[in-house]
Structure 1
Amino acid sequence: MPYLPASQCSTLSLSISRALLTGLLVTSPLLIAASAQAQSAATEQTRAYAIPAGDLDGALNRFASDADILLSVDSRLTTGKRSPGLNGSYSVDAGLARLLAGTGLRPLKAGNNYALEVEQDNASSLELGATSINASGMGDITEGSGSYTTGAVTIGKGQHSLRETPQSVTVMTRKMLDDQRLNTIEQVMEKTPGITVYDSPMGGKYFYSRGFRMTGQYQYDGVPLDIGSSYAQADSFSSDMAIYDRVEVLRGAAGMMKGAGGTAGGVNFVRKRGQYTPHTQLSLSAGTWDNYRAQVDTGGPLNEAGTLRGRAVATQQSRHYFYDVAKRKDQVYYGAVDFDLSADTTFGLGVAYEDLDATPCWGGMPRYADGNDLKLSRSTCLNPAWNNQRSKRTTLFGDLKHPLNDNWALKVAGVWSRNTQDMEYAFPSGSVPVGTSSSNTLVLGSIYDYDQVDYGLDAYVDGTFDALGQQHELVVGANTSRSHKDDFFAVAALPQRQNVLDPDHHLPQPDESYYLANASRGGPLDIRIKQYGVYSTARLKLAEPLTLVFGGRVSWYKSETDSIAYFRGVGTPANSQTTETGQVTPFAGLLLDLNDNLTAYASYTDIFTPQGNLKTIDGSTLKPLIGKSYELGIKSEWYEGRLNSSFSLFRTLQEDAAQTDPNCADGSCSQNSGKVRAQGFEAEISGEVIDRLQLLAGYTYTQTKVLEDADPNQNGVSYNSYVPRHLLRVWADYSLNGPLERFTVGAGFNAQSDNYRTSPISGNNISQAGYTIWNGRIGYRVDDTWSLALNGNNLFDKRYYTTVGTEGFGNFYGEPRNFMLSVKADF
């Protein structure tokens, strides 16, 4: 990866004011000097260096900055390697040689600049040769990069930089995950620009982007699965971040990902792989509310030639919460091997096992009957202590990469996942009379026995070809996914009542047979989803600054649901199915390079989401949800990709979404109804804005509106009022210099405007005023091996609701002030 001298970077000033910050996120890269000049006159002079042992990329970055040189590196040479560090006075040549000791690399001087080449004794095993003078910028692997941005994303097919991608993508890099202690998918999405997180009363969280819910749009190493599309617990299935290199989040229509794509976007989890050099990391952490976590992450070559590489991760965490009763234990185990079948072909395998054992507290807080806040203590839990949740998940990964020739390559990848959940819980449902000192609130109990298997396969050929004096790119592929959910559930009112103002955690636990015999809803549920499709994307260079990206996917989709709906012990069988054949999802984008750093773009995507599992009042299946998504913006890339920024305008039109039919007496019927619009703009900046300062900041303005509805009274109102109009997320990490160079300081905040939910019972708007939550981090490097960090969240102890529900339930407090102390060893 290329490293630019620190003397060429100018300071980026940020204003907390929303208006100023929004403009600055767009224009700030234009204010930063982009030129990099080598300083050859000083290369033979000696300078004092104090660079700790660590990942090679980080050490080289620090050295290039301190030595004021331009160093170009092919990221394939340095990924996963370690440097012994550098302490003392050295010339540039001697310092580089010391930093590279034991890596199999050596410095190569090219004029007044520097590059790396493979030592002759190691060239054959690395299969790369000494041809890496001109680097291609940062790669897609973020582990060890020390960066909040990436050189390439893989959520689409192939690898393309953020600037070359005509849609909005945020990459939560390994450094970002580590710095903010983001260990779950919920925590990641809560810190991702443009994403709104909404608590489900049944546990888990829903994710929203650009006003719409993200449903089942998940990829693993680029393979799409239907996980989350019909999940028992919202979209936040168990998925620990310990095994992933990065999380790529696409905002906007994601139909090209797997055909039956949603309106909101998609998420791609990219796992850690075997390493070329041995490396082990141990970490221990302890925090508020008895939150303890231990992790071992080790990897390296498994044979002398380095053609077989392994990786193993083991994590255990136990924790309580800021509210009573609840606790949770997690175990995560992951192993992976990558085997070079030849100099060109690599085969990878991986397996992950996750085990969650918890006593949850779900349902949230009720309110007074008039919608006013009860102002209960944040430590309040209204659930009984016998609540339990047990979730186990096993995931298998496999992929094969093989270049067909110098221009074309084949990639085949597959993922299989099985998740089982056993749950029993109860929470009160009902408002509290105004002025009362106690309540007699109904308690709903639920039981779940859940088993879901998902698997997917994706294969594509990616290559370049020359035509009309320009080089173009073509991707042709096919993928398929299967999902089978076998579920039994029952929801019933318990005989006891709960005093919300003085809760009893020892309500009697019913026998399992009680639920079905007294169910208000429930029964066995069997859902099978099959889909497959073929796709192609072309990137045609129409002229030197102009690229046309267009493609499409032809999809076949089938789902079938068998169920028996029980009401007080009496079951009614039901079957629904839907088939969509040859559904075409087009995509088109245009990229115009304005100069070496700026690219303007426009894109269009169709939306297609089957809804055949829902029935109309006459028993027919619903038509698919359809729509169109438009995006117009400008992206910039600076310092060979170490800094990226973007500004985009978006508009999405969605039609025929499922709504409850008001003419259906029992509320079980749906109808295709209405038309809604979401529009707004986004601004984001990620990466190294000045020397030693990493930043991820994003502002999103979202406006949603109902254009047509079955109920004329809804025309013109907000379509999704709990997605805030204004959302701002900022996190920065700075490495100090001079006498305090062992310290790093991180700080950031999440800010949003007010949001609300209209109660379906009273019609009142249950609202949460806008708020800002400040977080911070202090890191200290003890020596070349050990480091400490202290993270603090909600530093000013803001009292707020992360989610507003109704008068009866679903109001969730945000976490009070809390801290986490971590110790880490790298060797």
Structure 2
Amino acid sequence: MGGPENFPRKVSKSRPRQSVLMRAIRISESARVITAVGGTTSVISKSSQTTHARPWRSALGALLLTTTGLATAVLAIPSPAAAQAARSYNIPAGSLADTINSFAEQSGAQILYDAALTQGRSSAGLQGQYGVAEGLSRLLAGSGVTFRQTGANIFTLEAAPRSAEGAIQLGPVRVEGASGEAGAYVPPQAVIGNQPEAYAGGLVARGGRLGVLGNRDFMDAPFNQSSYTSKLIENQQTQSIVDLLTNDPSVTIDSYRSGAFEEVTIRGFTNNGTNNGRATVNGVYGILGVAPESLERVDVLKGPSAFLHGTGPTGNTVGGTINLVTKRAPDEPITRLTTTYASDAEFGGHLDFGRRFGENKEFGLRFNGRYRAGDTALEHNSEKLGMASLGLDYRSERVRLTADLGYDDARIDGVRRFLFVDSGVPVPRAPESSSNYSPPWTYQDRKTKYGMVQGEVDIIDNVTAFASFATSNNEWSEYGFISSIYNIDGDANGSAFAEHEKTIIYTWQAGIRSEFDTGPLHHKLNFDFTKFTHKYYFSGNYDYASFETNIYEKSNVPDQGAIIYPAEYIATTNQSGVGIADTVSVLEERVQLTIGARRQEVGDAKAWTPIYALVVKPLKNISLYTSYIEGLEGGEIAGVEYANAGETFPPNRYKQHEVGIKADWGMLATTISAFEITVPGYISVPGTSLPTLTLDGKQINRGIEINVFGEPVKGVRLQGGVMLMDPELKKTQDGAYDGNRPVGTPTVNFALSGEWDTPLSGFTLTGRVNHTGKSFYDAANTQVLPSATRVDLGARYAFKAWDDRPITVRFDVQNVAGSDYWYPFGALTVSQPRTFLLSATFDF
């Protein structure tokens, strides 16, 4: 784990209308050639979709037809508003291919589909007046085919999913990325309403948010990124973001959520999870307290990302960045109630309510509320957790607006805090995971309020301006007990403490995203400005007596009396940055080069940070990439104990080189990435009188990550992988630790979860295995933390009630074996106890 444990530190496209009717046509995706029977060949330019007659390509189109087998019906392409207008249809029953062609003629829609998809299928036809999307939905009813709206009056057909009972049903109608639903056309450079779709199996998305670069498909991203869906959040009964991140092999968990804070490590560097605004929310830093029940996606980008996001509020984003994507109202009404139970006696409920309003469903409202309270599986530990969030949005042909409001309130009693170990003392075995060595009178209180507004305007079809403002007010207090172990038998000495912390955060962001062509080159040119203000208040009371304890016994330390002082103003941190990047591509985006730079300011310090990335696709389903990116953190000020007292160091610069290969096999995706992250460290150089503080230390984490996700066999879903690391300390104080492994960095981390839909309709078995290799508590590598393995098992049953309403019952056992182990961290925290989770979800 990088940082203070190892080095001494001081505390569009235009959409022209086409008038030529073309039937029974074939399209080549690779050449973008559309050939009409008895007509000319039209090339739809990627940037403008302008039609040019090129008869010489007719032969090429016919040749490509034999290899692609993709059929489409193309008619006039009206504006998005026209696509919503009702039309009169008179289509008799017949083969699916014939009825689709008739629908294309009568609706003026462009419909894309694989010719094999319609073979042997039929349709009952369509009579009456309907909008294009509604009419197509009715035409396809019962055919086993559904569709996605992928542009202005452009629809792509695909096989419909099967219900829990195995029956074919019409899948959701959706605009490409528009929160999975139909609506106004969203240009490709936009972010709001352009969320990448879920990959096969639905547990992981095809892509996610890459800061200023916008949303990118995983095959186009020059980094290793995982994007987890709300489906996974629901099916794993996720109670915290840390629960969800257990699925990622690049992430190691640093603490069990026995308190209000969550700690994780990404690629061997502390991230602090979603604490202190270190995660972004909808691409913006500074929002705390967003619960998993409010989320549609969780993106995990591995590696530093100063160019993509700017610097975080308090640093510690070297190993990666977590981005939380909030829910939006779907086109179809949702009213979902989930009742929950967690051992030993914690009960709760969650309401998810969404509606859209307006003639074209322009306005959306999504509310999520959750309350959970009771005793946990940890001895004398209980919690009361309440949250409420409201997501609002508006969408029109060229304007998209969103707003998020939220409140989170957490009270945890009997907090099992982390432990320290004295230097030279072997790390004792971990106590039982369900035991609690902390006194029962300890507690944590946290209250968070947040708000965010974001907007996008399509200035022209291929240029989108965006802006956002976010603020959060976070107050936290703790009355706790901290101990340090001084022998192998687990004897410790500790004392109480009382702390009160408050943060007020404001974030502004604005910029432009665009796509255009210059000759054979296609550009994705993005620009953004960010500003971040962090006001920090704190007070601490440490005037308490010391007591002898033992980690294997219940604490008998009497209540010391909580005296918590009002939080006093400490400091205000101001950060701002301007970033610009251009992704230049050729050969239908088979070769993509990204070059960019950000000018970042932290207080009075200023620095440039670049990005260089190259993506090459030698085959359609194979992507090779290499990238260089940096992280930035404010520099230290040398203290009075150094000869250079008062010297302000420049921002710390973390450097990452990464290469990788990704493969999309259709129903299964595999990725391999290799990385090297170099982090500077402060060391003290002896002098004639006082030592000098210098920034000459170094930590290098090298690693290989292998990831897999998808549904390789119908009804079998997998996601996970392994990370192998070779972390090393260099240029440490007097060379004492040169060549050693950094604190809390295992050389292997494995995570694999899976689901199997059994022959019993609606019944699914689930499981997950996590393994973390050996690591060290100290930089001298004398205090060993053994390797550990955890197994989770579960099942769910989906069925319909007497009134045909869907019900899903879920049961999970986390840490089935009740394994007792230490999490790899700069301090010691004990593993999660065996925990039983039961829930029932009702859709109304």
Match 1:204 to one of 238, 248, 261: 261
SS at match of 1:711: helix
How far apart are residue 320 of structure 1 and its match? 2.5
Change in 2 beyond 3 A, CA 1:160/1:816 = same
Instruction: Indicate yes or no: 2:372 matched with 1:317.
Output: yes
Q: CA deviation at 1:496?
A: 4.6
Q: What is the CA deviation profile of residues 546-605 of structure 1, one whole-angstrom value per residue up to 9, with x for unaligned ones?
A: 1111111011111xxxxxxxxxxxxxxxxxxxx212x11100101111111011111011
Whether the aligned pair in 2 keeps the contact of 1:540 and 1:549 (CA below 8 Å) is yes
Distance 2:729 2:166 in 1: 67
Q: CA deviation at 1:347?
A: 1.8
Name 1:540's counterpart in structure 2.
Answer: 584
Matched, 1:624 2:651: yes
Summarize the Cα distance change of 1:357–1:715 in structure 2 as closer, same or farther, 3 Å threshold: same
1:674: Cα distance to partner? 0.9
Query: Residue 466 of structure 1: SS of its match in structure 2?
Result: strand
CA contact (8 A) 1:38 1:68 kept: no
How far the C-alpha of 1:659 sits from its partner, in A, is 5.2
- Uncovered stretches (5+) of structure 1, i.e. residues with no partner: 1-32, 47-55, 106-114, 117-122, 228-236, 517-522, 559-578
- Give 1:602's aligned amino acid: T
2:813 equivalent to 1:792: yes
CA RMSD of aligned residues (A): 4.1
Corresponding residue to 1:693 among 701, 708, 716? 716
Contact 1:142 1:175 survives alignment (8 Å) = no
Is 1:677–2:700 an aligned residue pair? Answer: yes
1:814 Cα deviation after fit: 1.6
Tell me by how many angstroms 1:698 deviates.
Answer: 1.8
Shift of 1:765: 1.2
- Among 782, 792, 795, which residue is 1:777 paired with? 795
Q: Deviations over 1:413-436 (max 9, x none)?
A: 2211110012111243342475x9
1:636 aligns with 2:663: yes
Letter in 2 for 1:748: R
Contact 2:745 2:824 in 1 (8 A): no
Q: Retained in 1: the 8 A contact 2:605–2:650?
A: no
The secondary structure found in structure 1 opposite 2:733 is coil
Give 1:566's aligned residue. Answer: none
Q: Which deviates the most, 539-548 or 470-479?
A: 539-548
Letter in 2 for 1:728: F
Distance in 1, matches of 2:635 and 2:658, equals 26
Give the structure 2 partner of residue 74 of structure 1.
150
Deviations 1:686-726 (A, max 9, x none): 22222233221121111111121223121111124x22111
**Aligned partners of 1:459 and 1:378: how far apart in 2?**
47
Corresponding position of 2:625:
601
Residue pairs, 1:657-672, within 5 angstroms: 657-658=681-682, 671-672=694-695
Aligned residue identity for 1:450: E
Whether the 8 Å CA contact 1:351–1:397 is kept in 2: the answer is yes
| One-letter amino acid of the counterpart of residue 245, structure 2 | M
| 2: CA distance, partners of 1:127 / 1:525 | 47
- Aligned twin of 2:594: 549
Structure 1 residues 307 and 76: CA distance shift in structure 2, 3 A:
same
The alignment covers a number of residue pairs equal to 693
What TM-score, normalized by structure 1, do the two folds share?
Answer: 0.75
Give, in angstroms, the shift of residue 662 of structure 1. 8.9
Equivalent residues in 2 for 1:482-497, closer than 5 Å: 482-494=533-545, 496-497=547-548
Contact 1:443 1:493 in 2 (8 A): no
Mapped to 2, the partners of 1:770 and 1:89 lie a distance apart of: 39
State which of 704, 708, 721 in structure 1 corresponds to 2:727: 704
- The amino acid that maps onto 1:727 is N
Give the equivalent residue in structure 2 for 1:563.
none
| Deviation of 1:126 (Å) | 4.5
What secondary structure, in the 3-state scheme, does the structure 1 residue paired with 2:245 have? helix
The 8 Å contact of residues 428 and 488 in structure 2, kept in 1 or not, is answered as no
- How far is 1:303 from its partner? 3.9
Structure 1 counterpart of 2:719, one-letter code: L
Alignment match of 1:726 (pick from 741, 748, 760): 748
Q: State the shift of 1:478 in Å.
A: 0.9
Q: Where do residues 315-354 of structure 1 align in structure 2 (5 Å cutoff)?
A: 315-340=370-395, 342-354=396-408
**In the alignment, what sits opposite 2:121?**
43
Deviation (angstroms), 1:389: 1.4
How do residues 61-460 of structure 1 correspond to structure 2 at under 5 angstroms? 73-74=149-150, 99=170, 126-127=183-184, 140=195, 147-156=202-211, 157-199=213-255, 204-214=261-271, 217-225=278-286, 238-260=289-311, 262-340=317-395, 342-364=396-418, 370-371=425-426, 373=428, 376-432=431-487, 441-460=492-511
Structure 1 SS opposite 2:217: coil
- Map of 1:801 onto structure 2: 822
Contact 1:38 1:69 survives alignment (8 Å): no
Letter paired with 1:317: R
Pair 1:589 & 2:607 matched: no
Contact 1:399 1:413 in 2 (8 A): yes
CA separation of 1:506 and 1:406: change in aligned 2, threshold 3 A: same
Contact kept? 2:431, 2:551, Cα under 8 Å: no
CA offset at residue 168 of structure 1? 0.9
TM-score normalised according to structure 2 size: 0.74
Give, as a single letter, the amino acid of the residue that structure 2 aligns with 1:754. Answer: K
State the partner residue of 1:824.
Answer: 841
Distance 2:151 2:770 in 1: 33
Q: Which runs of 5+ in 2 are unaligned?
A: 1-67, 71-113, 125-132
CA contact (8 A) 1:673 1:710 kept: no
C-alpha distance in 2, partners of 1:308/1:221?
Answer: 19
Residues 624-659 of structure 1, C-alpha deviations (whole Å, 9 max, x = no match): 2223210111112343xx64331111112222x245
Q: Is the 8 A contact 1:224 1:257 kept in 2?
A: no
Structure 2 counterpart of 1:650, which letter? F
- What CA distance in whole angstroms lies between the structure 1 residues aligned with 2:638 and 2:486? 30
Pick closer, same or farther for the CA change 1:372–1:700 going to 2, 3 Å: closer
User: Deviation of residue 675 (structure 1)?
Assistant: 1.6
Q: Which amino acid aligns with 2:337?
A: L
Q: Which amino acid is the alignment partner of residue 279 of structure 1?
A: I
Distance 1:366 1:149, change over 3 A: closer
Superposed displacement of residue 352, structure 1: 0.4
Establish whether residue 477 from structure 1 lines up as the match of residue 528 from structure 2. Answer: yes
Within 1, Cα distance between the matches of 2:699 and 2:166?
65
Moved more, 615-624 or 812-821: 615-624
Q: CA deviation at 1:323?
A: 3.0
Distance in 1, matches of 2:800 and 2:572, equals: 54
2:619 match: secondary structure: coil
| Secondary structure of 1:373's aligned partner | coil
Q: For 1:173-215, what per-residue CA distance to the aligned partner results, in whole angstroms no more than 9, with x for missing partners?
A: 1111112122212222233230122239997343222222226
Q: Distance in 1 between matches of 2:338 and 2:199?
A: 16
In structure 2, the residue matched to 1:811 is 828
Take 2:69 and 2:251, find their aligned partners in 1: how far apart are those partners? 31
CA distance in 2, matches of 1:676, 1:41: 59
Whole-angstrom CA distance in 2 between matches of 1:500 and 1:208: 25
Deviation digits for residues 253-294 of structure 1 (CA, Å, limit 9, x no counterpart): 211133336421111111111332211110011122113221
SS of 1:42's equivalent in the other structure is coil
Q: CA deviation at 1:815?
A: 2.4
